[in-house]
Structure 1
Amino acid sequence: MDRRTLLRTTVAGAGGLALPFTAWSAAYAAPAQNATGPYGPLQAADANGIQLPAGFTSTVIARSRQTVPGTTYTWHDAPDGGAVIPNGSGWIYVSNSEVSSSAGGGASRILFDSTGTIVGASRILSGTNQNCAGGKTPWNTWLSCEETDLGRVWETYPLGGTAVARPAMGRFKHEAAAADPVRKVIYLTEDETNGRFYRFVPTTWGDLSSGTLQVLVAGSGTSGSFTWANVPDPDGSPTRTRSQVSGSKSFNGGEGCHYAADTVWFTTKGDNRVWQVNLLTSTYELAYDDNLVSSGTAPLTGVDNVTGSSYGDLYVAEDGGNMEICMITPDDRISVFLRVTGQGSSELCGPAFTPAGNRLYFSSQRGTSGASSGGITYCVTGPFRT
């Protein structure tokens, strides 16, 4: 069975659940190596300063402190983690604001119709701090995570409803979240130099108000087997969650997290790595390490947010580096998909595909100005393989 057939079989077998990324674990068996991208070389920068492969185009969707086109809503500062939520025949792009509560921290949404035209925009979370990344749930909510000491996860409702804190998911320096509908858990990363990788097991799937926080326990190597252990005090005070379980594995600066079909990937910015966790075999390994690229210059540095396409490609955004979004293919090849020029004091974040897989949204957190007030949110369209 080839990989695309496996993907269709996996999706069909999930009761109609449209998994965004195929996780044929055997294909991701070694750290990715340099290769020519499937879309060919990057072209000269377009009018927005973005270098893309031939056939792809970029559009500015919103700018911080400016009115979102076609609406009366002012886009937030420092756009960060994001996701696409289906909404009838259209969709919603949700985006965090990584600033303090006094500066407008929280999250916003932009509504699109079936043609990709903006039809609305509004705030969905206010009064929170340093909302960095997060993750969407199968029931179409957005988990907005506070990247602060004793930060919280906030469940927001892009389709309508009042945001609510989910303290049972732990109080720590949250980064990203990824839902696993098979094991009915939420994976969580922690942005500390000695951060941990967690999972939250809700008492009832679909209700995050109660449950058990667990941490990954493993050896000190870059591959091996693992187990899960309960975190005794998810409140993290006085002892931080990362220090409560003996033998829990330390990760250097947890960032983006993405689940699909029995595999979860997450990134660590402190060592420029992408980790792959095989949930069927309870093993982990490296999907990418910039020190293990055998030839040429490592294309991906400053690893940050991550998402996947329906075809099976992993897209990893850079915080720093060359301001690129790189892609890792199922045959362990890594290449640059796009590069943003003239914004060296920013970072790329919030990559997310539409349900059809033909649009990729992302943000440059500080844009050309290098300040939180200069954020820009983009949409890239083109012949993405699906």
Structure 2
Amino acid sequence: MSVSPRPLATRRTVLAASGAAAVSVAFTGAFTELFAGSSAARGHSGYGPLVPDPDGLLDLPKGFRYRVLSREGDPLRSGEGRVPSHCDGMAAFAARGGHVRLVRNHENRVDAEIPVPTVEGLTYDPMGKGGCTALELDGHNRVLSERVAIAGTAVNCAGGRTPWNTWLTCEETEDRAGTNGYTKDHGYIFEVDGADPHRTGAVPLTAMGRFQHEAIAVDPRDGTVYETEDAFEKPFGLFYRFLPKKPLGGTGSLRAGGRLEAMRVPGVPDLSAVQETGTVFEGVEWVPVPDPQAAETPIRFQDFGPKGITHGQKLEGCYWGGSCVYFVSSFAYREEGSAADHYGQVWRYDPAGRRLTLVVVFGPDTDLQLPGESPDNITLAPDGGLMVCEDGGGAQHVFGLTRRGEVYAMARGRQNIGTAEAPEWGEFAGVTFAPDYGTMYVNVYTPGTTFAVTGPWR
């Protein structure tokens, strides 16, 4: 999440200058595939141009308003310390009494300005600066509580929710004990119960692999967990599935272990080489990972046999829709080792048919004056479309994608972390909606800020 690509175009800058109303689609492919399983209304073209925020925090369309829920450096309401830096992946859960509970990642490395405070029973490695915090909100988005949910982890980037309403937070690092001062190995997934963090504690789910994790999605039918790997150097990351011994067993069941496998698409060593949307690969194979703990060799370097394994640059967002899992490659560059360039891909895997399909491609043959490069966090929106946090340079937006294939700006960050002469803005992350879809919650990575956005959602 924090490693952003070089700016390849000025889509965000152009959109901001034009007022950011709905625009033509900036990608190719079977766009409606992204909304499998959604039955919400369709047919609108966004919410109109963004209105400059007089307070300089968040531009929104007319009729929408925001509430700042939390800012880095402020005191945690629990008294455990300060709100940590680098707010990243996040999910919203229903709580009693019509309340909403947010579980929020903090992608802190060893040099983090404000680490996640260590708390007895919730700390994995006292030298780890990352972790999660949990907020409980009332029906009016007023913060009732804010506390540490897990500490002592590292580079908590994204993750995903489980069918039993816990959060799986993912470490995007492969650092071992003794590296960067860490006292334990990192690169794991941890389960977090936002309602009762001590119930899940700080236990690494080691069987799910040790690598640069990004996001997960769970098949609600059989409990298979799909995992993306965001490796920064070639060989790039893999797409995994974890077959738990106790599928759908509830909180703590993933500790029972299982089998980790990596996806092999016959004849396709690099996903970036596939450029035509609608391309289908039958007979996808799943190969057991030789050493899930990567005791000697990172998984993506390991020997998967004479047929090899399938890699992809910048594998990030992952979500379940209908009967399939979708995952995102945010970008690929030939000069960095990929087989071809693209500004983003969305893939669909159908477990029943063992079928992989390239659903959407973002550029470079699309109009560079439109939004759409480097998709990252993705979530379903109230209208049945999507909200997407882009991970690139320049001005930072949350973009909406309608079911008709139109792109529109939903929010723009206004907190300048650069200078007046060379402005910079922190990326958005962790976009998610309340269970009733009446509020969009989203983070700004730097300065770490969590917003609640309400308004005339369709």
Q: TM-score, normalising length from structure 2?
A: 0.70
Equivalent residues of 1:180, 1:260 under 8 A apart = no
Distance 2:261 2:308 in 1: 13
Counterpart position of 1:202: 244
In the alignment, which of 400, 405, 411 is matched to residue 338 of structure 1?
A: 411
Counterpart position of 1:146: 171
Distance 1:285 1:168 in 2: 29
Give the letter aligned to residue 137 of structure 2: F
Counterpart position of 1:277: 348
Distance 2:159 2:223 in 1: 17
Alignment partner of 1:242: what SS? helix
Residue 355 (str. 1) matches residue 454 (str. 2): no
Residue 47 (str. 1) matches residue 89 (str. 2): no
List gaps (5 residues or longer) in structure 1: 1-24, 30-34, 368-374
Counterpart position of 2:32: 27
Q: CA deviation at 1:296?
A: 5.5
Classify 1:233/1:71 alpha carbon distance in 2 versus 1 (closer, same or farther; 3 Å).
closer
Matching of residues 42-191 of structure 1 within 5 Å: 42-68=50-76, 72=79, 74-88=82-96, 89-100=98-109, 102=127, 104-149=129-174, 151-160=187-196, 161=199, 162-191=201-230
Q: CA deviation at 1:277?
A: 0.8
Counterpart position of 1:262: 323
Equivalent residues of 2:31, 2:359 under 8 A apart = no
Equivalent residues of 2:344, 2:374 under 8 A apart = no
Q: CA deviation at 1:136?
A: 1.1
Give the letter aligned to residue 174 of structure 1: H
Give the letter aligned to residue 42 of structure 1: L
Residue 232 (str. 1) matches residue 290 (str. 2): yes
Equivalent residues of 2:344, 2:361 under 8 A apart = yes
Classify 1:188/1:310 alpha carbon distance in 2 versus 1 (closer, same or farther; 3 Å).
farther
Equivalent residues of 1:326, 1:335 under 8 A apart = yes
Alignment partner of 1:127: what SS? strand
Distance 2:168 2:290 in 1: 23
Q: CA deviation at 1:154?
A: 0.7
Q: CA deviation at 1:309?
A: 2.5
Distance 1:118 1:342 in 2: 22
Alignment partner of 1:67: what SS? coil
Distance 2:204 2:78 in 1: 28
Q: CA deviation at 1:300?
A: 2.5
Deviations 1:196-233 (A, max 9, x none): 11111111113212111121211242433233222222
Alignment partner of 2:140: what SS? coil
Equivalent residues of 2:70, 2:449 under 8 A apart = yes
Give the letter aligned to residue 57 of structure 2: G
Classify 1:334/1:266 alpha carbon distance in 2 versus 1 (closer, same or farther; 3 Å).
farther
Residue 319 (str. 1) matches residue 399 (str. 2): no
Q: TM-score, normalising length from structure 1?
A: 0.83
Alignment partner of 1:276: what SS? strand
Q: CA deviation at 1:63?
A: 0.6
Distance 1:155 1:302 in 2: 28
Deviations 1:45-83 (A, max 9, x none): 352432222221122111111025x66453111111111
Percent of residue pairs identical: 30
Distance 2:195 2:102 in 1: 11
Give the letter aligned to residue 273 of structure 1: G
Distance 1:384 1:71 in 2: 33
Of residues 208-217 and 338-347 in structure 1, the stretch that sits farther from structure 2 once superposed is: 338-347
Instruction: Give 1 or 2: higher strand fraction.
Output: 1
Residue 382 (str. 1) matches residue 442 (str. 2): no
Equivalent pairs counted in the alignment come to 348
Residue 364 (str. 1) matches residue 444 (str. 2): yes
Q: Which has the larger radius of gyration?
A: 2
Equivalent residues of 2:230, 2:315 under 8 A apart = yes
Greater length-normalized contact order (CA 8 Å, ≥ 6 residues apart): 2
Distance 2:31 2:361 in 1: 15
RMSD, aligned α-carbons: 2.5
Give the letter aligned to residue 347 of structure 2: Q
Classify 1:55/1:276 alpha carbon distance in 2 versus 1 (closer, same or farther; 3 Å).
farther
Q: CA deviation at 1:189?
A: 1.0
